[in-house]
Amino acid sequence: MTVLANSSLGKGKRMSFDIKTAGPAIALILLCIIGFLLNPAFLSEGNLTNLLTRSAFIGIIAVGATFVITAGGIDLSVGSMAAAIAGVMIIIMNSAVETLGPGLATVLLGCGCSIVLGIGAGWINGMLTTKGKIEAFIVTLGTMGIYRSLVTYFADGGTLSLDFAIRGTYRPVYYGSFLGLPIPVWVFIVVAVLGWFLLNRTAFGRYCTAIGSNEAVAKYSAIKVDRVKTMTYVIQGLCVSLATIIYVPRLGSASSSTGVLWELEAIAAVIIGGTVLKGGYGRIGGTILGALILTTIGNILNFTDLISNYLNGTMQGLIIIIAVWLQRGDWGKAKAKTN
C-alpha cells in the first residue's frame, strides 16, 4: 500500500516508494550524525536515554493521532486535554492522601482517573464529530479551549502541585528504569507496538484506512463508520492519558502552560512520519521516527551554540515543511500546471 497514487511508470514508483518509507529514518540518521559532529557527547548513553524519554510524551500522543488522522480526522485538543487530565489527577490524588495515604493506592487511583478521563474526553470528541456531524477541526478547537480554561480554573490561575508525600511514591514512573531503559521509554515502546499491530494487522486498522481513503466506500462496505471514527478519538484520548500519567511525576505539577502546543508537535510527528494529513494512509513506524526527529532537533540545539535555542521552533517548522514537500513526490517533475 503506497501513498503515491498515480505515477504510472513502475520504475519511478519503486524509487519514490523507497524515499517515502525510508525518508524519516534517513533524516533521523542524518540528524544524529550532525549532532555527533557538533558534539560527540550527543551520542553518549545519558543523552540518548534522555532523548528517548523526552520523545515519549509526544510519541505516545502521536501514535493516537496517527489513528485519528488516518481515518480522516484531526484532534487539536490533545495538549489541553493532557493539562486538564494532569490537573484533575493532582487534585484527586492530593485529596485522597487523607483517606488512602501517600502510598500506591493513591497513585493507582490517580492513574485510573486519568485513563477514564482520557477515554471520556476522546469519546466526547468522537461523538460530536460523528453523531453531531460537526467538523473535527471545529469540535477539537472548541474542546481545546474548554480543557485549557478548565486547568487554569482548577489551578486558580496558578499551579497545581502534587503532595510531596505522593511524589516519592510516584517518582519512579518517570525517573525509574527497567532493564536499563527508563519507564517512559518502555511505555512508549509498548504503545508503539500495540499501535502498529492495531493499524496494520487488524480489521479495525483496515477500517480506519478505508474511511480516511473514502468514507462513502467504507459505508457501502458495511463498515460502521461512526463507531470506528469515534474509536480513533477514544484511542487518542487513551494515549493522552498514558502520556499524562508518565508526565505528572516529572514536575509534580500542572498549570495553564502544561502541554501547550503538544497538539501541533503530535500532528507534526505524524506528518513527518509519512501519514497523509487528509487520511487514508497511516504509518505508526513513521510517527515514532517523526517524534524522535522533533525531539532530536531540540536536543542538538541545546548541545551547540551554532543556532540559538530560541530558534528551536524555526528548525522544527522547516523540517515539517521539507518533510511534506519531499513526500509529495512530484518534485523534479516540474510541469503539471503549465499546460
Partner 1 sequence: MLDGQSSTTLVLEADRISKSFGAVPVLFSVSMGIRAGEVHALIGENGAGKSTLMKILSGFHTPTSGRILFDGEEAILPPDGGAERLGIVLIHQELNLAEQMTVEENIYLGRELTRNGVLDRETMRSKVRGYLDDIGLDISTSARISDLSIAEKQMVEIVKAISRNARVLIMDEPTAVLTEAETALFFRQVEKLKKTGVAVVFVSHKLSEVKQIADRITILRDGQWIGTKDADALSPDAMAQMMVGRELSDLYPPMHEVDVDAELVLEVRNLYSSSVRDVSFDLRKGEILGFSGLIGAGRTAVFEAICGLAPIESGQVFFEGRETRFASVAAARDAGVAYLTKDRKAKGLLLDKQMRPNLTLFALPKFVRRFGIDTKAEDKAMARAIRRFDIRARDPKINVGDMSGGNQQKLLLAKIMETDPQVVIIDEPTRGIDVGTKQQVYHFIAALAAEGVSVVVISSEMPEVIGVSHRVVVMRDGQVMGVLTGDDINENEIVRYAAGLKREGRG
List of residues contacting partner 1 (CB under 8 A): 1, 3, 5-6, 8, 10, 197, 201-203, 206-207, 209-210, 213-214, 216-224, 280-281
Q: How far apart are CA 219 and CA 58, in angstroms?
A: 32
Query: Of 10 and 157, which CB lies nearer to partner 1 in the complex structure?
Result: 10
Strands 159-161 and 181-182: unpaired
Kindly state the smallest distance separating residue 225's Cβ from partner 1, in Å.
Answer: 10
Sign, CA dihedral 233-239-245-248, equals: negative
Query: Of 209 and 316, which CB lies nearer to partner 1 in the complex structure?
Result: 209
Sign, CA dihedral 246-249-254-257, equals: negative
Query: Of 109 and 198, which CB lies nearer to partner 1 in the complex structure?
Result: 198
Kindly state the smallest distance separating residue 70's Cβ from partner 1, in Å.
Answer: 13
Contact 43, 32 (CB under 8 A): yes
Kindly state the smallest distance separating residue 222's Cβ from partner 1, in Å.
Answer: 4
Kindly state the smallest distance separating residue 216's Cβ from partner 1, in Å.
Answer: 5
Query: Of 90 and 223, which CB lies nearer to partner 1 in the complex structure?
Result: 223
Q: Could you give the dihedral angle defined by the CA atoms of residues 203, 76, 215 and 205, in that order, rounded to the nearest 10 degrees?
A: -10
- How far CA 65 is from CA of 70, 87, 239, in Å, comes to 8, 22, 9
Nearest to 320 by CA among 278, 281, 269, 282: 269
Cell 518534485, located at residue: 331
Kindly state the smallest distance separating residue 335's Cβ from partner 1, in Å.
Answer: 19
